[in-house]
Amino acid sequence: MNDTLNTLPTAEIVAPKRSTLSIVWIIPILAAIIAIGIAVQSHLSKGPTVTIIFQAAAGIEAGKTFVKYKDINIGHVKSIRLSEDYQKIEVTAQIDKHAAGLMVEGTRFWVVQPRITMSGISGIGTLLSGNYIGVEPGKSEQEQHVFVALDTPPVIPDDQLGSAFTLQTDNLGSLGVGTPLYYRQLNVGQVTGYGIDDDGKTITIQIFVHAPYDRFVWDDTRFWHASGVDISLDAGGLAVKTQSLLSLFMGGIAFEEPIGTPRGEPAATASTFTLHDDRLKAFKPIETQIHRYTVSFQESLRGLTVGAPVTFLGLPIGEVTSIQLEYHPTTFGIHPRVEIAIYPDRLTGHLYGGAAMKEHIVSDLDQKNLLQNLVKKGLRAQLQTSNLLSGQLFVAFDYFPNAPQVTVDWTRDLPELPVMAGGIALYEKKLLTILDKFERLPLETLAQELTTALATFNTTLQETRQLVKQIDGEIAPEVRQTLDALQQVLATAQGALAKAETNLLDTDAPLQHELRDMLREVTRAAQSLHHLTEYLERHPESLLRGKTGGNN
């Protein structure tokens, strides 16, 4: 029994195997692994963190505003805070790793938002998407993490082909950043910046001419303000010129090379040019020889301005350079003093065979002798009106043979040329002379005589009126009766003539019938007498014997 019991299998208590990791931890562990992977991936994909300093961060929000380059998101704004001095805004942006190479020295940032400038309207899309930070990468390879943003977007991108030049003027006018630049009325560039020089008298303007138009900028190219409208009136009529409707309101700059002169060399980048007020001044000839004189007029200079033309027989040869008053201590008088500049090249340019004449007028002595000889022949300066509406005056040299002889004092720094009273002064003198004569007239006597004459004329007129009435009332009836009688006589005569015409001239008139019958009888009697005559010639015996029966 015991053996049987011993052979029976005995159960062994086996303790259940206990797992070291509960299944409930699998999911958290996997989540943690995934999170770590994402974190590692995120860390590995992150680019640099940069700080951008703005003057104002309009529309920029942390976590919402993107950093874009060529309209592609390359990062986003992480945080915004004030600078330590509270004057600026420091924006921290996380840049994607693939754009890390853009964060180098020279890279520019700015806020892209809706803007209306002289060059057009930009940033309209941000009205829906919100403002973002624009980027223009620099060309350096030096890495940089702190940048100072631009207040406005760059006018010309760095990758824009073209050339930059500098203009200098004393008047900015309506020009501004983005003002268009015109070449033969084509928009070929724009103003990129401007500023006043240290002397406070000159304004320097930076312009950019797009390629390929920048190759039309030569070293002798002229630039001028193309704002507004140029209106000129000449023999060809009224001319109105403007570069474009846009330049009429927003201003503009135009440039061209001189016409009729050899073209210069292509202008180097960053060359400096003068910006003229208008096209006429831009192409004004550059004078190499200038002779200066003074003229003292004895009349008002109202309407005469500096720059007014000086003409010789109607052709321009110079301009007015200064208008002043001159005190004469001997006479205690003050008279107008006008300085003029005469350009000999213009004078010889108008001469027929000017080149040959120029060879004969080389030295100053030749020119003095020429001018003195012209003065001897009556050459005088005179103020004349160029425009009756505006009253603008100019100095005109012309011949006045009856003018008194004068000699030019060549020892003075600026020789004074003789003058002749101008057109307005001459008219005023004539008008005063007429008024003076009018004042000397015996007006009272003339008025009395005129009154008497008018009274006599009035009396004569009344007498004439009475005479007419008398004729109409007394003589006219008798004349009318006479005319009626005469009319009756004429009617009677007319009736008699008509009756005579009926009796005599009409084909059926009785008188004509009677006349025709009488003529027939006469004709027949003549025929009988003719037959009798012939019978007697043949038979003369019939006068004694009588007519026989056989004789014919």
pLDDT averaged over 10-residue windows placed end to end, the chain, 552 residues:
61 66 77 87 80 88 90 90 90 90 90 75 75 88 91 80 92 83 88 88 92 90 79 57 63 84 82 88 80 87 86 89 87 86 80 65 71 88 78 87 85 88 67 76 79 84 80 68 76 73 63 73 76 75 64 50
Contact 243, 218 (CB under 8 A): no
Per residue in 357-399, pLDDT (tens digit) is 666 665 666 778 888 888 888 999 988 887 766 678 889 999 9
169 three-state secondary structure: strand
* H or E, element range at 76: strand 72-82
The C-alpha atoms of residue 110 and residue 91 are separated, in whole angstroms, by 12
Q: Tally the C-alpha atoms within 13 A of residue 253's C-alpha that lie toward its C-beta.
A: 36
Contact 301, 195 (CB under 8 A): no
pTM: 0.53
Per residue in 468-521, pLDDT (tens digit) is 777 667 666 766 777 787 788 778 777 766 776 666 556 666 666 777 777 787
Contact 346, 397 (CB under 8 A): no
Burial 222-253 (b: 16+ CB within 10 A, else e): bbbbbbbeeeeeeeeeeeeebbbebbeebbbb
